[in-house]
Structure 1
Amino acid sequence: MRTILLSAFAAASLSLATVPATAADYDIVIRNGRVMDGAGNPWVHADVAIKDGRIARIGKVTGKGSREIDAKGRYVTPGWIDMMDQSGAVLRENGGAENKLLTGVTTVIAGEGGTPVPADQIAAYFSELESKGIAVNFGTYYSATQARREVIGDKGAAPTAAEMVEIRRKVETAMNAGTMGLATALIYPPGSFQTTDELVEIVKAAAPCQAIYATHMRDESAGLLDGIREAIEIGERAGVKVEIFHLKAAYAPRFGQMMPEAVKLINEARAKGIDVAADMYLYPFAGTGLEITAPTWVYENGFEAAVALLKDPAARERMKKDLAAGPQPGWTNMVYSAGGWDRVVLANPHNPKWEKYRFQSIAAIAKDVGRDPADVAWDIMLEALPKRAVALYFMMDERDIETGLKQPWVSIGSDAGAAPVYGKIDGLGLPHPRAYGNAARTIAEYVKRRPVLTLEDAVRKMTSWPAARMGLNDRGVLREGLRADITVFDYDKLDDRASFAEPTISPVGIDYVLVNGQLAVDGGKPTAARPGMVLKGACAPAADS
C-alpha cells in the first residue's frame, strides 16, 4: 500500500510540474501603499497595477503581478520631475543617471545652455540617446544664445538682418527636431550681449511650437526685478510661456526684502494673463564658474581675447575697480552680491596646484598665499583651462528660499547633471549637493524638518505641476492609462543627506522608482534598466506612443 501511495504522489508531482503556471495579470503590482496622485490630493490606501508601461488599475487589485511590491507604510507618488537639469551631455556617456533616480527623479528637463550638438544634429542626438538607452525620461530646450553662437560666434556684436534670419532658421530646425522651447543664460557672455529686442525676435521663431522661453535671467541680484520684467516682456511680446530658472534673491545687502517684491511682480503678471512661472533649487549657495567674477566687458571680443585680458596686469586693475564698485548694468558682480570673497568657496580647481584649497574661501586662499583674492581667483580660472574652474557662491538666504518655495507656481529644479560615475561629482564638474539631494530635500527639509510645505504640495511641485507646465499629458499624475513613472518612499526614513561637506551622498528612504513601468530603483538600489524616453516638443514629428 505504501508503494502505491508513493507512486501516486510522484505521478501527481510530475503532473503539477508540467502544468504551466497561471499567467500574471500585470507586470508589477504595488500593494498596500499610501497612494498620492500628485494633484495635491491627500493619500488613499490603494494598490497600483502596471502593465505594458502604463498604470492599468488603481484601487483594490485582485489580479497578480509578475512582480509584487508591498508598499505598506510607504507613499506611492508619480515620479518626480527635475525642471532644471544639466544632463544633456553626460547621458551620452552614462545613461544610468543613478544620482537622479536615487533622489526619486524619473524625468529631467535640460538645456539651460542648449543642446550638446548644433541644431541640425539634434534629431540624430535624440536617436543616439534612445539607441544607447537612458534610465530617465529626458527633454531639453535649445538655446537662443547657442543659435547666435552657431551663426556669429561668441563676440559681442549684434547680428545683422541676414544673420538674424539664419539664427531664426536654427531655432526652427531645433524645434522641429523636438526641443521643448528656447533657453537663455543671460548672466554669461555671449548671452549677456543679447538685447531684449534681439531675444524677442529669436523667441518668436519658436512660438508656433507651443514653446517655453526659459531663462537664467540677466540679473538675480541687485537687478532682480528688472531681470524678471525683461523675462516677462520677452514672453509676452513673443507669445510664449516664461519659465524663470532657479528663482533666487541673490543679493546679501537686501536679504529678506527682494524675494517678496519678486513674488509680487510675478503674481501681477499672472493676474494679467501672462503665463510665467519659476523653478528653484533648495540650497543657500549657487555654483558656477570663476569666469563670472570678471566684468562682462572682458568678454566683448570673445573668450580668447578675454583670456589675454585676464593675464594683463593693467586690465586686472580695472577689473578690480569694477568689483569694488558693485553691480553694474549687464553684470551681476556675484562677488559683491554674495558679500565678498570670503563667501566665494573654491569647489573644483581642475588643477593639482590648487586642489588642497578645495572648499576653502577665495579670501582664505588669498591670505594663505599672500596675494589679492581677485588675482587668485583669476589665476585658478586660467590654470584650469580648457576645463572650467568652479566655485560655490553663498549668496542666498533661507527666508527668501522659503518665500519663493511657498508660491504655487514654483516647481523644483536641481541645476545639476547626472554623474558620469555614480558616487562622483556630476557632469558639470561641480561638487554641489543639489546633484544628489535636491528633490528629496524638498520633502526632507521643507516638509519634515521645517513646516514650509505640506507633503501634498511638495509632491505636486515635483509631479503634476511641472508635467502640466511642460505639456507632459501622459505622466505626472497617478491615473489609469497614463505612463507608469512612480516613486515609492518611506516618509519617516527619507533624508537628503548630501551636504556642502559631502555633496555626493544619495538620500535614504527612496525604495522603488519606476520609469515607464520598469524598475529603475529596486529596494533602494539602481538596476541596469534603461526604460527612459526622449520627450519631445509639439513640433516634433509624430511618434508611436
Structure 2
Amino acid sequence: MATSETTCDLVFREATVIDGSGAPRFVADVAVKSDRIVAIGDLAGVAAREVVEARGRVLAPGFIDTHSHDDNAVLATPGMEIKVSQGVTSVVNGNCGVSLAPLVVDSLPPPPVSTLGEAKDFAFPTMAAYLDRLMAWPPAVNTASLVGHSTLRVGAMRDLNREANADELAVMRERLREAMAAGAIGFSSGVFYPPSQAATIAETTELARVAAEAGGIYTSHVRDETDGVVTSLQEAITVGSVAGAPVVISHHKVAGMKNFGRSRETLALLDKANETHEVGFDAYPYTAASSWLTPDYLSLCSRVTVTWSKPFPEMKGRDIAAIAREWGCDDKEAASRLQPGGAVYFLMDEADVRRVVSHHRAMIGSDGLPNDMHPHPRLWGTFPRVLGHYVRDEKLFDLEEAVRRMTGLPAATFGFADRGAVKCGAFADLVLFDPDTVIDAATFEQPVQTAHGIELVLVNGVPVWRDGASTGARPGRVLRRQSMRAA
C-alpha cells in the first residue's frame, strides 16, 4: 500500500471505480506507479506527479477486444487510435482462422486471409518472428495472438479444396506447435470461409489438440451462422471438447430473416454445453456483419454496402442495390464486377442482437476490419456503443455487468494474468470515462468517427489517449500464453 512518503506517477481522485469483477461501484482514489496499480482508497496523503480529478467519472479496467483483426494494424498504425479511442487497452488477434503469422507469400493469399494486408505484409515465417517484431516496434495496445487455421492451410497446401493429407497436416501441426511455444495463446478456425471449408472435424480437432497441449484456447467462426447454426455450434463444441481446449464462439449470431429469433435456441445450447465443457462467446452490438464481398451472401440480406472495391474504389460506402440500378444489372452481377472487395451485410435482427449481448457469458469483440476503406462502424464504436446505447439508454444490463464482460470475463477466459481488474498489483490498464456522455459516433454512413466520453486511457501505466487525442505513446506489450506475463 502506498504511503505518504511514496511518490506515485498518477493518482485518480474520487473516481467511481468499477473494478471488472461485476461487484457494485465504489468511490475511491486510485494510485499508479510505473506499470501497476499500487493503492486504492483514501489516498489524501499520497504524493503524485500527476493528479486527475475524477469525481463523477467511472474508472474501469481497460477494455479487452476479444475479437479483432488487428494483426497488421498494430504494426502499420501503432498508435491504434481505432482502439484506444474506445478505451481498449488489449486486443486478441488472429481470429476467424486468419492470422498474419506464420506465413510468407509471393502473391496475395485468398480471402479472407487477404483482408489483413498486402502480400508484402505476410513476411513472418514463424510466430516468434511476428512477436519479436511487436516487441521491437510496440503499439499503443497490448496484443495477444491466435494462430489461424486458414493461414496454416494456405502455407501448407497447394489445393485448399480438400482435406489436408498426412504430410500437410504434419506441417501445420509443427508450425502451430512452434507458434504456441513462441507465445501464441491458441488456435482459431474459420471453416465458414473457402480456404478452410473442406477441412474435416478430424483435421480441425487435431490442430486444436496441439494448442490445448500447450495450454491454449480454441476459437471458432462456425461453419454456418444461418440455417445450420445449431449443427455448426455443436461441431465447434465437439472439436474443443475432444481436443481438450476451452472454446470461444466467435461473433455469435443468427443470420438471415428466417432464422430471426433463433438466438433463444442457440444460447440455450451454449448454456447446456457449459455444464460439461468451458464454452464462451463474443458478440458485437450491431445488426450487420462485415467481410469480403461475395454474391453468395446477398440473398440473406436486407441491404449490402460496399466497404472497398479494388476495380471500383469510388463505390466505397454505396449500396449494392444502387450500384446495380446505375449499371443496369442485378445485384449479383454488380457484386461480381466489384470483386475483389468487401461489404457490410445487414442480416441480423435487433431482438437477437439484444438477447445475445445481454447474456451473462457474452464478451464484447469488435470484429473490425482496419484495412477497409469504408469500414463497418464497429471498428471505431463497439465498446462505447455498448456502454452508452445498450446500458445507459436501453438499460439492457447495468454498467458493472457491461464492464465485467469487457474486462474481467475476457481476462479470465484467455488467461491474462493481472489484467481486466482495478486492484492493487494489477497492471495499470485503465480507462476513465463519463457515464453520462459515453457513446459511439461512428455510423454506417460515416464510420470513421471518434467516440464521445472516453477521457483518459492508460496502458501499462502510460497515458495513450487523453482529451480526445492520441498521446503518441506506445507502451503496449505482447501477452503470452499460460501465465500471460508481459514481454
TM-score, L = length of structure 2: 0.91
Tell me how far apart the structure 2 counterparts of residues 24 and 99 of structure 1 sit (CA, whole Å): 35
Is residue 147–residue 187 contact of structure 2 (8 Å, CA) maintained in 1?
A: yes
TM-fit CA distance, 1:531: 0.8
What is the RMSD of the two structures over their aligned residues, measured on CA atoms?
1.8
Is residue 97–residue 135 contact of structure 1 (8 Å, CA) maintained in 2?
A: yes
TM-fit CA distance, 1:487: 0.4
TM-fit CA distance, 1:133: 2.0
**Could you tell me which residue of structure 1 aligns to residue 342 of structure 2?**
390
Letter in 2 for 1:371: C
Tell me how far apart the structure 2 counterparts of residues 46 and 281 of structure 1 sit (CA, whole Å): 31
Match of 1:523 among 467, 477, 486: 467
**Could you tell me which residue of structure 2 aligns to residue 145 of structure 1?**
150
**Could you tell me which residue of structure 2 aligns to residue 348 of structure 1?**
308
| CA separation of 1:121 and 1:261: change in aligned 2, threshold 3 A | same
Match of 2:78 among 73, 95, 111: 95
What does the per-residue CA deviation read over 1:83-132, in whole Å, with 9 as the maximum and x for residues that have no partner?
Answer: 00111012211211012001110010010244313264221211211211
Is residue 280–residue 411 contact of structure 1 (8 Å, CA) maintained in 2?
A: yes
Tell me how far apart the structure 1 counterparts of residues 377 and 310 of structure 2 sit (CA, whole Å): 19
**Could you tell me which residue of structure 2 aligns to residue 16 of structure 1?**
none
**Could you tell me which residue of structure 1 aligns to residue 19 of structure 2?**
37
Letter in 2 for 1:404: V
What does the per-residue CA deviation read over 1:466-493, in whole Å, with 9 as the maximum and x for residues that have no partner?
Answer: 0000101211011101100000001111
Match of 1:283 among 276, 286, 304: 286
Bigger drift between 161-170 and 65-74 goes to 161-170
TM-fit CA distance, 1:442: 0.9
1:451 aligns with 2:395: yes
Match of 1:472 among 383, 407, 416: 416
Number of residues of Structure 1 aligned to a counterpart in Structure 2: 461
Tell me how far apart the structure 2 counterparts of residues 164 and 74 of structure 1 sit (CA, whole Å): 52
1:83 aligns with 2:66: yes
**Could you tell me which residue of structure 2 aligns to residue 374 of structure 1?**
332
Tell me how far apart the structure 2 counterparts of residues 495 and 363 of structure 1 sit (CA, whole Å): 30
Q: Which runs of 4+ in 1 moved over 6 A?
A: none
Tell me how far apart the structure 2 counterparts of residues 227 and 110 of structure 1 sit (CA, whole Å): 23
- Higher strand proportion: 2
What is the aligned-residue identity percentage?
A: 34
Tell me how far apart the structure 1 counterparts of residues 49 and 17 of structure 2 sit (CA, whole Å): 21
TM-fit CA distance, 1:516: 0.4
Tell me how far apart the structure 2 counterparts of residues 354 and 149 of structure 1 sit (CA, whole Å): 27
**Could you tell me which residue of structure 2 aligns to residue 231 of structure 1?**
236
What does the per-residue CA deviation read over 1:37-56, in whole Å, with 9 as the maximum and x for residues that have no partner?
Answer: 11011111100001121000
**Could you tell me which residue of structure 1 aligns to residue 436 of structure 2?**
492
| Secondary structure of the corresponding residue to residue 282 of structure 1 | coil
| Secondary structure of the corresponding residue to residue 88 of structure 1 | coil
| Secondary structure of the corresponding residue to residue 64 of structure 2 | strand
Alignment of 1:37-436 (within 5 A): 37-61=19-43, 62-112=45-95, 113-118=97-102, 120-256=125-261, 258-271=262-275, 273-291=276-294, 293-294=295-296, 334-339=297-302, 343-351=303-311, 353=312, 355=314, 357-381=315-339, 388-417=340-369, 426-436=370-380
TM-fit CA distance, 1:24: 6.3
- Of structures 1 and 2, the larger Rg is shown by 1
| Secondary structure of the corresponding residue to residue 127 of structure 1 | helix
Tell me how far apart the structure 2 counterparts of residues 254 and 158 of structure 1 sit (CA, whole Å): 30
Is residue 147–residue 167 contact of structure 1 (8 Å, CA) maintained in 2?
A: yes
| Secondary structure of the corresponding residue to residue 274 of structure 2 | helix
**Could you tell me which residue of structure 2 aligns to residue 301 of structure 1?**
none
- Higher helix proportion: 1
| CA separation of 1:408 and 1:487: change in aligned 2, threshold 3 A | same
TM-fit CA distance, 1:163: 2.3
| Secondary structure of the corresponding residue to residue 132 of structure 2 | helix
Letter in 2 for 1:251: G
| CA separation of 1:451 and 1:192: change in aligned 2, threshold 3 A | same
Tell me how far apart the structure 2 counterparts of residues 428 and 194 of structure 1 sit (CA, whole Å): 28
Letter in 2 for 1:344: V
Is residue 101–residue 127 contact of structure 2 (8 Å, CA) maintained in 1?
A: yes
Unaligned runs of 5+ in 1: 1-21, 295-333, 382-387, 418-425
What does the per-residue CA deviation read over 1:244-271, in whole Å, with 9 as the maximum and x for residues that have no partner?
Answer: 1101111212312x11000011011012
Tell me how far apart the structure 2 counterparts of residues 169 and 122 of structure 1 sit (CA, whole Å): 12
Is residue 190–residue 220 contact of structure 2 (8 Å, CA) maintained in 1?
A: yes
Letter in 2 for 1:490: D
**Could you tell me which residue of structure 1 aligns to residue 10 of structure 2?**
28
| Secondary structure of the corresponding residue to residue 435 of structure 1 | helix
| Secondary structure of the corresponding residue to residue 171 of structure 1 | helix
